[in-house]
A = this chain, B = another copy of it.
Amino acid sequence: METNRVEAFSDGVFAIAITLLILTVGIDRSPRGDLGGYLTGLWPAYLAYTASFLTIGIMWINHHLIFRQFARADGPMMILNLLLLMLIAFLPFPTRVVAEFARSGADRRDAALLYGLTTTITAICFIALWLYGSRRLLHPDADPRVVSGITRSYLPGMPVYGAATLLAFVSATASLVIFGLIAIFYALAAALFSRTPSTVERTAASGDPPL
């Protein structure tokens, strides 16, 4: 099968999962009591929505990045990709649990563990998909430096998420904060490392006087 059909299907699942995150804010609930207080009290839901939106968005960008290195799709790759999508589509559930229980002391740890376990397994699926594909399905003209660069930057995902998950046993709050920081870090990294210089910067860099 050609990779572009697999990519189009995966794009669909990414787009739907990311949009269904709105369910985590409780769109299907009737607010109770004073509306203003209810809405501001939803701040953990807004933060969880933002963190998971960035996380799925970054994973979508990375998904494209690795598929661009693949020349074709085969059976194991499609099943590994299906497992990855199964985890992506699952993320709205832990996001909602965190949104509801981040403020409840006794349950915060279980919420953080569920969220962390989901993101850790997602990272494992991601690296498994990449390690399989990069050994068997590479474009003949894939740049080896790009390939090893991707491997280097994706390998830390699993231990980082795993460590943040284990941290929940010590401090659930710290664990949740770190999940948020990881999302922001990846978003900033994606934004800054492939920035396009403006015309002025390009002119300055080239040493030519601006026109």
Contact B97 A191 (CB under 8 A): no
Contact B194 A75 (CB under 8 A): yes
Contact B195 A86 (CB under 8 A): no
Instruction: Show 19 A/B contacts (Cβ-Cβ < 8 Å), sorted by A.
Output: A5-B11, A9-B11, A11-B12, A13-B19, A18-B85, A20-B20, A21-B89, A22-B93, A25-B90, A28-B28, A31-B100, A35-B97, A39-B97, A49-B90, A57-B85, A72-B196, A76-B191, A77-B196, A136-B196
As a 0/1 sequence over residues 106 to 129 of chain A, the CB contacts with chain B under 8 angstroms (1 = contact) are 110011001000000000000000
Q: How many copies does the complex hold?
A: 4
Determine the distance from Cα of A17 to Cα of B12 in the docked complex, in whole angstroms. 11
Interface size class of A (residues with CB under 8 A): 35 or more
Contact B76 A27 (CB under 8 A): no
Identify the closest chain B residue to A57 (Cβ): B82
Determine the distance from Cα of A86 to Cα of B51 in the docked complex, in whole angstroms. 11
Determine the distance from Cα of A19 to Cα of B35 in the docked complex, in whole angstroms. 26
